[in-house]
Amino acid sequence: MIQSASKKRVDNMQRRADRLAGLVEDFQGSADRLPPGQSLVKQGFPVLDLGVHPELPLGTWSLVFSTPGQPDVMYDWTSWGELPTIQATHDIHCVTAWSVFDAGFSGVSTQELAARLTIGPGVTHLLVHSADGYSANLEIEDFLAPGSLFATHLNSEPLSVPHGGPLRLVVPHLYYWKSPKWVTRVEFLTEDQPGFWEKRGYHNRGNPWRQERYGPKQKAILNAESPEAHLAPKSPGLPPLTRWERVKRWYVDHFG
């Protein structure tokens, strides 16, 4: 049973998340549901990842929640299946500029899950870990926003492995890299820790309506009118590097 102080903390965070969701709905309820810089995918659902599709047999699957000062809480597939579920229809926006409208997810809401944990007053962020080595950080209010859920089904079908099955996090009001696939561990934190892409130059939050795609260093490279010296073409006479070529060169320079 969640402690009264912890429950009050969760309730406060949920109220803040509700206010955030109201802002999101104001945007998505407008005539244009497409955030700036996005293109609508009318058929299919693109798949992007690190190139590894881990097979996670349900008989050995587990999901661990770590909160400061508390024992870890672990669910296996059977105990997870006993939790109440919701159905939600969301528009999905990828940082690579594609969007999908009306994706139907079902699973356990993040608010439902948080109510079953003891989350201390110092928790401000979380880091979500995946079986392929991927991770993404979130503010606690984004995690608890209405509509955020741990999804096991997409459009009434169990999540396929390429789409993150058996379970992925869905935080629909942020760019889709903030919705990790193949989730195995959720770590609640008292201070922010960057995830996989955040360490590599992506924006720390990822609001699609504000085009929060890149952090300051990467944005400076994208917006540069002339490539810096270390980004210049290798040979005289070659055309200037494109925006994406500058980004790729920056990745090589900083992360090998």
pLDDT digits (tens, 9 = 90+) for 178-232: 999 999 999 999 999 999 999 999 999 999 999 999 887 666 655 654 444 444 4
Q: Which residue has the higher pLDDT, 121 or 4?
A: 121
Task: Average the pLDDT over 14-23 and give the result.
Answer: 48
Determine the length of the chain. 256
Residue 104: pLDDT over 60: yes
Residue 77: pLDDT over 60: yes
Confidence of residue 20 (pLDDT cuts 50, 70, 90): very low
CA distances from 14 to 28, 102, 107 (A): 20, 24, 18
> What pLDDT, in 10s, does the model give residues 33-68?
999 999 999 877 788 888 889 999 999 999 999 999
Residue 10: pLDDT over 60: no
- Please report the pLDDT score of residue 210 as a whole number: 94
Among residues of the chain, what percentage have pLDDT more than 90? 65
Residue 127: pLDDT over 80: yes
81-90, 141-150, 235-244: which has the minimum mean pLDDT? 235-244
Estimate to the nearest angstrom the gap between the alpha carbon of 237 and the chain centroid: 42
Whether 170 contacts 217, CB under 8 Å: no
CA distances from 197 to 30, 183, 184 (A): 30, 16, 18
Prediction pTM value: 0.76
Confidence of residue 11 (pLDDT cuts 50, 70, 90): low
> What pLDDT, in 10s, does the model give residues 137-189?
999 999 999 999 999 999 999 999 999 999 999 999 999 999 999 999 999 99
- Please report the pLDDT score of residue 249 as a whole number: 52
Domain boundaries, the chain: 4-194, 216-255
Q: What single-letter amino acid sits at 191?
A: E
- Please report the pLDDT score of residue 252 as a whole number: 45
Q: CATH assignment of 4-194?
A: 3.90.420.10
Beta 149-154 vs 157-158: how paired, if at all? antiparallel
